[in-house]
A and B are shown apart, each in its own frame.
Chain A
Amino acid sequence: MVPLWAYLFLSAFLFAVGVVGVATRRNALVIFMSIELMLNAVNLSFVAFARFLHSLDGQVFVFFVMTVAAAEVAVGLAIIIAIFRNAETVNVDEVHLLKG
């Protein structure tokens, strides 16, 4: 069967891709999607550890992560819509209202 480290390496790779997305992209929506990718990478680790440690707690945790991710997306997209209404852009380089 596929060993644990294979899942952990895939999870680390997906997390790193998400970090690159957050650091390089300028579109707030794509940054948000990269955050989702990172959350999912962590979920994959949770499920893999649950399987190999003979425990279901990891799977329950994935439920909670999904709930928080859903709440985060709802609020975050509402914030992005509000920003777009005020600034007419979702480019994070052009949104600097707090800079003074």
Chain B
Amino acid sequence: MEWVLFLIFALVAAGAGVGMVLQRSPIYSALCLILALFAQAGLYVLLGAELIAFVHIFVYAGAIMVLFLFVIMLLDLRPEDRSPVRSNPVGVSVGLILAGLLLAELALGVGPHIALGPRGAYDFETVRAVGNTQAVGRILFREYLIPFELTSVILLAAMVGAMVLAKRKLE
């Protein structure tokens, strides 16, 4: 059952990812990416990371992709007149070589006989007993409190930067 769900989500994610690169119209690319992101949220649920899955949908499908679609419609873009992949053989070969290298490294290095390091304290049953959200929240607000607070500085800087950059004229 888990394999069936994994294969469904993985095939949808991979297919939508490839579709995003192949589509000539940026709107269709964005819609393909949204599909890939939803499939990925399904994989997160399969991995027992429910909180991440829902934050992923909220942040990516809810905020980032809406921003993308908004900008695409604001700029009124035309589809590229040539097929993006056929017109650029160098980029395709670079990507394919990288893909081959990554997959070869995985097959040689981790493969099915992967030797994992020491396990942590949060195995699947422990996390399930506490609840995924509570367990992640406890770590986030204890061990990672300072990095977590620092992300607010990043968000503030991004907010100010986006407004300044997108403004027509600075007084």
Contacts and interface: CB of A to CB of B under 8 A. Distances in A.
Interface in A1-45: 1-10, 12-27, 29-30, 32-34, 36-37, 40, 43-44
A84 to B, nearest CB: 5
A72 to B, nearest CB: 8
Interface in A58-73: 59-60, 62-64, 66-73
Interface in B27-62: 29-30, 33, 36-37, 40, 43-44, 46-49, 51-52, 55-56, 59-60
Contact of A84 (B29, B75, B121, B136): B75
A24 B88 contact: yes
A65 to B, nearest CB: 10
B33 A90 contact: no
A23 B67 contact: no
B90 interface: yes
Interface string A71-90: 11111011111101100001
Given A1-B2, A10-B14, 5 more contacts: A24-B87, A43-B56, A47-B43, A52-B116, A81-B71
